[in-house]
Amino acid sequence: MKVAIAQLNYHIGNFEGNLNKMLNAVSEAKTKGADIIVFGELSTCGYPPRDFLEFDDFIKRCEDSVSRLAEESHDIAIVVGSPTRNPVIEGKDLYNSAIFLYEGKIKQTQHKALLPTYDIFDEYRYFEPGTEFNIVEFKGQRIAMTVCEDIWNVGNENPLYVTCPLDEMKSQNPDFILNLSASPFSYDHAEDRIHVLKANVERYGLPMFYVNHSGAQTEVLFDGGSLVISPDGNIFDELVYFKEEIKVYDLSEVKKGGIHRVQAKEKIALIHDAIVTGIKDYFGKLGFKKAILGLSGGIDSAVTAALAAEALGAENVLAVLMPSKYSSGHSVSDAEQLAKNYGMPYKIIPIKGAYDAFMESLSEHFEGLPFNVTEENLQARSRGVILMGLSNKFGHILLNTSNKSEMAVGYGTLYGDMCGGLSVIGDVYKTDVFALAKYINKGKELIPINTIVKPPSAELRPNQKDSDSLPDYDILDEILFQYIEKTQGPKEIIAQGFDEELVKRILRLVNINEFKRYQTAPVLRVSSKAFGMGRRMPIVGKYLS
């Protein structure tokens, strides 16, 4: 038997586009002699469809796609992920299902049993968990179909669940396992995924074909990396990352075992590729063509510009240099040099006129009061107004350049440098921003070296440096990582050797600035815990405040 797996980049709600991708893949698989082709979880509609699932017409169009695929299933079996209706009154209206199509009809449907409701997942909001587990027989083979999370409770050891679907199917003596997934990217998830798949194969002694999505759905990124695991627990093959790919495998060869292709999983390279994919798909799927950003000469805007240029083409990224009287000369020259290195169009628009106009309007009300963060923020907001004006006039989408460290502690100005339609590096700590810059420069100096080596500064007052108000980033980022990603409280972090006063100050800054993060652009998710839909904190909570 030959099994084809189709790792595709779906578009939520784009039924015609998704269906055409799958029909083309079916055609290709047929020409390669495949007996069966497998698509990812909810591939008819894209993942995560969220509240689109509440529209009857949306579900009807998913059903229409399944019917159209069934028409092509006479010479090949097709396994597709799609929402299906729950025919009984009790429970949720829908299931998240894997549907086996052959000879023009639905031969079997297996409902997802384990519905993740954590981090970015909210599946129990929409779906009823499956409770029946049956293999499907096809051309002399007995196939266990599973959907994504269903393989993440090996041996019923995951405390989130009480059922292990493959344990339920084991007595039916399946010959191999199919898993239809939509497994979001984080830079450390690929290794976890491989570990879980291997654990399943070792437990059941069966080959597994795991099919993942690729591409981006706003902030949620999918890395692909679909896997074929042999019964000996070795990776028979691993598909490319962040690209579509269709491959056909001879089941008898897979059963023989061995390692055929495994990709390197270096953290910064993965983050780089993920962000480029995220920008490209955000613009492409929304029909946007051009981006705009403020280019300050600092490392955050430089890395953002570089990633955008790679994703969209440098000619489609407009850089705007907006010096103030506090901007150093090298800030402008560094920004100009980066734009020239990429062949990126740029404008220089000093903010003095806008800032002076604001100050004149407010002078009567500010009379006698000292210069403080208010005047600093007016500079940032002057820049925000200029960028949004250009964005509106020319139809460019503004890219936000704030990093995760800044977003965490509120080191950004609402309606100023926090403006934007997409937060490009909002899930990248400052220390990793530096690593990204070096990675981008690995073959050629595209980001000026001075941008990388100079002390970070917002340049909103004379001789300002980030270190005036924040600890060194290697210390700050580790405290933030322990609190945000590892959910460690102050006692646990202090016990690791960090200064008690510093820990309490940093954690307080994180909590009291939640209101800012509620108003920011969607953040491309590259870590296991990004700001946004996966981290839901109350604005008015008093914990550590």
In sequence order, what are the beta bridge partners of 147?
A: 180
In sequence order, what are the beta bridge partners of 45?
A: none
* Relative orientation angle of helices 299-312 and 430-440, to the nearest 10 degrees: 50
In sequence order, what are the beta bridge partners of 291?
A: 317, 397
Helix (H) or strand (E) holding 497: none
Provide the pairing of β-strand 208-211 with 317-321.
unpaired
Q: Of 21, 107, 112, 404, which one is the catalytic site residue? A: 112
Tokens describing residue 92: 């949720």
Cβ-proximal residues to 87 (8 Å cutoff; 6+ apart), any chain: none
Confirm if 535 and 529 have CB atoms less than 8 A apart: yes
Residues 403-421 as b/e (b if ≥16 CB within 10 A, e otherwise) read bbbbbbbbbbbbebbbbbb
Cβ-proximal residues to 307 (8 Å cutoff; 6+ apart), any chain: 272, 275, 276, 279, 424, 425, 436, 440
- End-to-end, the C-alpha distance of the chain in Å comes to 61
Say whether 112 is catalytic.
Answer: yes
Cβ-proximal residues to 525 (8 Å cutoff; 6+ apart), any chain: 120, 184, 185, 186, 219, 220, 221, 427, 532, 534
Confirm if 320 and 426 have CB atoms less than 8 A apart: no
Compute the distance between CA of residue 145 and CA of residue 111 in angstroms, rounded to an integer.
9
Q: Of 45, 148, 164, 419, which one is the catalytic site residue? A: 148
What DSSP string runs through 78-131?
A: EEEEEEEE--SSSS-SEEEEEEEEETTEEEEEEE------STT--GGGTBPPP-
Tell me which amino acid residue 545 is.
S
Compute the distance between CA of residue 47 and CA of residue 127 in angstroms, rounded to an integer.
14
Compute the distance between CA of residue 44 and CA of residue 164 in angstroms, rounded to an integer.
26
Q: How far is CA 141 from CA 14, 79, 138, 169, in A?
A: 34, 15, 5, 14
Q: Of 41, 238, 376, 459, which one is the catalytic site residue? A: 41
Residue positions annotated with a catalytic role: 41, 112, 148
